[in-house]
Amino acid sequence: MPISSQSQNMLPAGQAGSKAVIYARVSSVKQTTRGDGLSSQITRCTEYAKYKGYELTQTFQDDLSGSLIQRPGMQAMLKFLRSNRGDPHVVIIDDISRLARGIEAHLQLRSAISDAGGILESPSIEFGEDSDSQLVEHLLAAVSQHQRQKNGEQTKNRMRARVLNGYWVFQVPIGYKFEKVPGHNKLLVRHDPLDSAIQEALEG
């Protein structure tokens, strides 16, 4: 079901005894296998739910960029919220950047959660209907977008500089592998026995 882009009034904060779900997100599949980004978010949100006296019913998670709106975990959560509209759930996120890392995506997902009957909360920020609360929320969403864009720019600049220095920074070709070499960090080297087979095939 498409996400509404129209802004909606925010629902009141949940009360003790309310039911809640957790939404956690990391930017890539690699982050789910290296590091504990998802588990740390879930632990912090669980602690918040206990403090507020909420009953946790579900946990949803994604491993996609925060600039994207159509995410499997988010869509599953919205479907769950809509099917339980008669029993509104609090949606707990660790930080505003876990919802989205772009202004447009943030506003659309905020609207979609409200439309589905969800009440967004976080241990890092207090969401509110008044103008000051919305200003702070939008500023934080803008900062999150800037950080994502800045990280992308810095990554491209570092990759370009490494290429100019004669290093390979792209996907590893068949017959090669990256190996940590003192003074070079990751260096592309031949990977035996595939390298010999490929060399023989090319020369043949």
Most confident of 5-9, 35-39, 42-46, 154-158: 42-46
pTM of the prediction? 0.68
User: Same domain, yes or no, for 177 and 120?
Assistant: no
How many CA atoms, within 13 angstroms, populate the side-chain half-sphere of residue 97?
A: 14
User: Same domain, yes or no, for 33 and 105?
Assistant: yes
Domain assignment present for residue 72? The answer is yes
Q: Yes or no: say if 97 and 129 are a contact pair by the CB < 8 Å rule.
A: no
pLDDT in tens, 168-194: 888 888 888 888 888 888 888 888 888
Adjacent-strand bridge partners of 189 = 177
- pLDDT > 70? residue 79: yes
User: Same domain, yes or no, for 182 and 84?
Assistant: no
The sign one gets for the Cα dihedral 170, 174, 176, 179 is positive
Stated as kind and residue range, the H or E segment containing 58 is: strand 55-63
Residue 113 phi/psi, 5-degree rounding, is -65, -45
Arithmetic mean of pLDDT over the chain: 84
Count of domains observed in the chain? 2
pLDDT in tens, 158-172: 889 889 888 888 888
- pLDDT > 50? residue 108: yes
What CATH number is given to the structural domain containing 80? 3.40.50.1390
Q: For residue 201, what pLDDT band results from cuts at 50, 70 and 90? A: confident
Picking from 111, 129, 147, the residue at the C-terminal end of a domain is 129
Domain assignment present for residue 90? The answer is yes
**Residue 167's domain spans which residues?**
159-204
Domain assignment present for residue 103? The answer is yes
Q: For residue 5, what pLDDT band results from cuts at 50, 70 and 90? A: very low
Which amino acid, residue 84? N
